[in-house]
Amino acid sequence: SALVSSLHLFDSSPDSASIVRRWISETQEALKSPNRMVQFHAMQLLYQIKSHDRLGVSKIVSQYSQKKALRSPLALVCLVRYTSKLLHDEVVSGRTSGVGIQNGSQICRTGFQFLESSLQHKSHMVAFEASRAICFLPGVEPQDLTAAINTLSRFLTSPKPTTRFATMKTLAAVAVNNPRAVSKCNEEFEKLMNDNHKSISTLAITTLLKTGSENSVDRILRQISSFLSKIADEYKIT
Digit-coded pLDDT (tens) for 218-237: 667 666 665 555 555 655 54
**pTM here?**
0.83
45-49: Cβ within 8 A, 24+ apart:
45/3, 45/6, 45/7, 45/10, 45/20, 47/78, 47/82, 48/7, 48/10, 48/11, 48/20, 49/10, 49/20, 49/21, 49/23, 49/24
CA atoms of 225 and 208, how far apart (whole Å): 14
Nearest to 150 by CA among 112, 188, 105, 111: 188
| DSSP one-letter code for 141 | -
> Has residue 95 got a pLDDT over 60?
yes
pLDDT of residue 215: 67
Cα separation, 51 vs 46, in Å, equals 8
Does the pLDDT value for residue 94 go beyond 60?
A: yes
Q: Report the range of poorest mean pLDDT among 34-38, 124-128, 208-212, 222-226.
A: 222-226
pLDDT, the chain, mean = 84
pLDDT of residue 130: 95
**Cβ contact 207:165 at 8 Å:** no
Q: How far is CA 89 from the centre of its chain?
A: 16
Q: How far apart are CA 51 and CA 160, in angstroms?
A: 34
Q: What is the pLDDT of residues 153-183, one digit of tens each?
A: 999 999 999 999 999 999 999 998 888 888 8
State how far the Cα of 161 lies from the Cα of 181, in Å rounded to an integer.
24
Sign of the CA dihedral running 212, 158, 195, 230: negative
Distance CA 168, CA 111 (A): 25
- pLDDT of 102 reads 64
